[in-house]
Structure 1
């Protein structure tokens, strides 16, 4: 039997252990191949630059993460097989031959994953492309074609990764003595015992990070003192180190207290469960910290992008409350969907507010109230030289309150009675508007300008009407079009959501696989302990219960922490953009947790299977 035959035999024998690892790699290669293919797709000729840039950035992020994941996973398999490697050495097999055996095994698994990933990517790319088209609301028919350049790029990059990780396996035999290889599985990460000071510091750091993320950056004195650019970095560092200390000390401190509680510890298999968890959380503090931070990053990024995509209609409506608006004369629009087609007149004039000179558009009260009746809003009452300001860009955190201020327009002095940040006009056409009485309007010396306002039914799907209006008014005039704004936002955020979702899935599969590898390794190490429990009369139900508890804590604590971290990060995002994203974030968290939960179920199932083998 040649080394290559032995390598293939070992792969077939360990295929169940490799299944999630191979599945994660296949999925990663499939997504990478799809991203690269999209760059060469003719379906995105119009927005090719944006798609190409986004897919390039996503591909780089994906390849870096996958390279780390493959190297990390490979180290698990090496640890698991060191006893086997030691046995080869004991039987007289030369180190060079053992190194080549491990090298061949990893290369064969890598090549298999690469071929399957590319083939799967080719057959599923049309469907994935259709998802992107749907998210971007593009009116095109997917015509996916095979890209030789995408295949070459995918094969080259992943072959380099597999070659380097295979070298990692080749040199493992040269890094350890024979006795170390036989006792490798018994070695854990030797971490110091939990200390009260470290536990308190961990909680304090996470609390400080949460506090900085939850306060309003525009009004917080802490943000001003630390700096707008420095504070986010400080928050990240506080949360990362606080999370590590939480796994390193806080959870160990809590579990130690539970272990020392006689009423709890001596009930069922609680003592064994807690003792096992103490070792595992201490020994895997770095890995669990990494998983919690990656979970938080994935949920935060995905929730933020999904929140933006979810609120596209509201955001577009905020700045374009009319379907169309432009400066100039009316045009001929042939459509039964028109709700109103109104001509308005405004005067542009310079005014002075407390010494600062601005150029505002003035509209008379009667014209304003006519528009409110068309839009179903409340009418306004003004007396004398009082004025009402409409400023859709007003933000209480950054803007001054208009109420009570006076403004000088030529010889007239107006007092601002009230203001609103809800615009009735499309802001690309009219930014800040002052409403004054008809008499005061006539006295204003300024240039009179005509604007056209059109409202239509089903305004999201009126791009064809938008194009016809553009043809009639010419390129020199500014057309504010709700369907055009909406479509632009859908394309931008849809592409981001597409890339973020699939990257998030890759990260999630990798994280689930890492925990799975750790737990099945622990299961094989603990098999003897469960055999003893079975012999002394512990039933299968009790053993399954303790297995579910152990695996549940390893899976659950990083997930809960990741969700908590993301909630505070998304709260800061929501405050910054003044946007309600509760619903999309909850949807995102539920979907993420459900997929993550599948890995928990698979791990528990395999853990039980390993324990039952004898």
Structure 2
């Protein structure tokens, strides 16, 4: 038998151990290939926004590639530890160190080649479906037709074969310097009793509590400044949580005889401290990777929800047009005529509202905006806002206030310079409809008419159109292009709500599409780490429970012990990640003063559900493997 054939047979015989690693690698290859397929798609060339999509896909490829490198490196290190005894037997039977390193190199390359081909193959099979899903997610105008992605295929195959080649060389280097006796003992060498420092365990509590407290207390822009130090503190606390605090608590629980000697707790907790110590780094990596996935996807969905909600709240009308004071009247009239002709030609059912905004000078030399009550009330009523109730020299102070911008009302009297009038505020109204970001005043119509004729005047027009009466996105896009072509030196402002929401969905669709797949890759990688760690201990569990079973351990008790061990392995790091993610998303909520509970609960709930399904599948298979022994 040749060495090449021997390496191939080894891969087949160890398929159970390599299964999760192979599938996770193939999934990473598939996602990388999908992003490459989009990045090189001929339909995404030309327009600026499509070029941005292509650039974003290449950026996502870089992230996936970097993660895949470390994922494969860790996986190979874990598998080599489980096979030390096998390597020792091969060396004892005459295999040279060069042949052993060649064997490991070929095995890695066989798995890498198979994972790369499988990932690309799956991507090609589901290419049309993925293109269709992405087209709807990205809100692209044209259909993304299927094409044979030669460039994407070449880039993916070349990049991952280089990656697996580099990892294979690195794992060969790891084998150097191992003595035969060390290889034969493998993982059966007696482990020292796990010890945990009380000081470091207490430090873990203080670091996590302090990091959480800072993240939950700070608000507004302070969240940005606290983000990096809080992240460092929580990461350090998480590491100590798994390496010190968990072992310390288990060791302390042994002192409680009524608990420790109850039923099968003796078997469970005698081994649990060793498992926690051995799995500490794996738990730490899984918790951090899962936290990144939770926080990234939750933040992206939260941002999308927040900006969409704010845009709808602040722009209740389909189309808004503001003509500034120095905008030529004939140009303003031509723009308004164009807007109305476009709406009417599309069959839109709409109503037009307008308001003049005078900028009156104060005695201090500053200017303040003043709006006629009748115009303001007609617009406010259509927008569902509070109406102004003023008479005589009374005025209503209107202040702008939303989740990102806070402004308070000022109820002090206002003395106007030119007209010698004094406004007496009697009412405060929060409004976001008119395009004025500073406090302005709504006055009765007679008082408005007494203001100086030479005051600077802007005009605001709102077109309230029924959503189902016409394609408002197409209308908004058409008007945006035609109004921009007319120029006017920036003396007007045009806004189409539906078209801007369309652009926002398209831009955020790209980010969400990328973030979702990257988050899934991280989560799949985290689950694979747990799978590797679990099956690393399989042979030891077989020997241990076979011996204990001879002492009278029943099948039900065996299943109970293994279920609890697997439950802790799968859900302790995920529980920590969920808490980290919930705190991070709460801090994000404090930064923008916008509720993200529903979005956060949805993201965290989906990931926890996936983990429960994964646990149920792995538990059944693992218990069956142990019982077979």
Q: Same fold (TM over 0.5)?
A: yes
- For residue 368 of structure 1, what is the aligned residue in structure 2? 376
* In structure 1, C-alpha distance between the alignment counterparts of 2:547 and 2:438, rounded to whole Å: 78
- Asked if the contact 1:305/1:496 (under 8 Å) is kept, the reply is yes
* In structure 2, C-alpha distance between the alignment counterparts of 1:191 and 1:130, rounded to whole Å: 56
- Asked if the contact 1:394/1:421 (under 8 Å) is kept, the reply is no
Cα distance per residue 1:115-152 (max 9 Å; x no partner) = 11112112223322222222232333221312222122
- Asked if the contact 1:346/1:363 (under 8 Å) is kept, the reply is yes
Distance 1:6-1:296 versus aligned 2 partners, 3 A rule: same
Deviation at 1:190, TM superposition (A): 6.9
Distance 1:414-1:189 versus aligned 2 partners, 3 A rule: farther
* In structure 2, C-alpha distance between the alignment counterparts of 1:188 and 1:571, rounded to whole Å: 45
- For residue 101 of structure 2, what is the aligned residue in structure 1? 99
Deviation at 1:35, TM superposition (A): 0.8
* In structure 2, C-alpha distance between the alignment counterparts of 1:356 and 1:179, rounded to whole Å: 91
Deviation at 1:409, TM superposition (A): 3.8
Residues 1:510 and 2:525 are matched in the alignment: yes
Deviation at 1:173, TM superposition (A): 3.4
SS in 2 for 1:452: strand
Deviation at 1:448, TM superposition (A): 2.9
- For residue 289 of structure 2, what is the aligned residue in structure 1? 294
Cα distance per residue 1:96-132 (max 9 Å; x no partner) = 1111111101001101111111121122233222222
Cα distance per residue 1:389-427 (max 9 Å; x no partner) = 4444556x97453232444443444355454444123x4
- For residue 325 of structure 2, what is the aligned residue in structure 1? none
Deviation at 1:589, TM superposition (A): 1.0
* In structure 2, C-alpha distance between the alignment counterparts of 1:470 and 1:81, rounded to whole Å: 66
Deviation at 1:255, TM superposition (A): 1.7
- For residue 205 of structure 2, what is the aligned residue in structure 1? 203
* In structure 1, C-alpha distance between the alignment counterparts of 2:550 and 2:585, rounded to whole Å: 51
Of the three residues 247, 252, 267, the one matched with 2:247 is: 252
5+ residue gaps, structure 2: 323-331
Kindly tell me the number of residue pairs found equivalent between the two proteins.
Answer: 601
Cα distance per residue 1:532-590 (max 9 Å; x no partner) = 12212211111111111111112111111111111111111112123222112111111
* In structure 1, C-alpha distance between the alignment counterparts of 2:394 and 2:217, rounded to whole Å: 37
Residues 1:450 and 2:456 are matched in the alignment: no
SS in 1 for 2:511: helix
* In structure 2, C-alpha distance between the alignment counterparts of 1:598 and 1:143, rounded to whole Å: 35
- TM-score, structure 1 normalization: 0.92
* In structure 1, C-alpha distance between the alignment counterparts of 2:54 and 2:397, rounded to whole Å: 43
* In structure 1, C-alpha distance between the alignment counterparts of 2:573 and 2:107, rounded to whole Å: 32
- TM-score, structure 2 normalization: 0.89
Distance 1:432-1:62 versus aligned 2 partners, 3 A rule: farther
Equivalent residues in 2 for 1:439-588 (5 A)? 439-445=446-452, 446-458=455-467, 461-470=471-480, 473=483, 474-476=486-488, 477-588=492-603
Equivalent residues in 2 for 1:102-117 (5 A)? 102-117=104-119
- For residue 49 of structure 1, what is the aligned residue in structure 2? 51
Distance 1:471-1:253 versus aligned 2 partners, 3 A rule: closer
Residues 1:347 and 2:358 are matched in the alignment: yes
Equivalent residues in 2 for 1:66-145 (5 A)? 66-145=68-147
SS in 2 for 1:612: helix
- For residue 27 of structure 2, what is the aligned residue in structure 1? 27
5+ residue gaps, structure 1: none
* In structure 2, C-alpha distance between the alignment counterparts of 1:407 and 1:342, rounded to whole Å: 28
Deviation at 1:243, TM superposition (A): 0.9
- For residue 226 of structure 2, what is the aligned residue in structure 1? 231
CA RMSD in angstroms comes to 2.5
Cα distance per residue 1:162-220 (max 9 Å; x no partner) = 0111113323432310111122313699796223322222111111111111123349x
- Asked if the contact 1:319/1:423 (under 8 Å) is kept, the reply is yes
Deviation at 1:314, TM superposition (A): 1.4
Residues 1:404 and 2:408 are matched in the alignment: no
- Asked if the contact 2:356/2:457 (under 8 Å) is kept, the reply is yes
- Asked if the contact 2:297/2:512 (under 8 Å) is kept, the reply is yes
- Asked if the contact 1:463/1:483 (under 8 Å) is kept, the reply is yes
* In structure 1, C-alpha distance between the alignment counterparts of 2:193 and 2:557, rounded to whole Å: 30
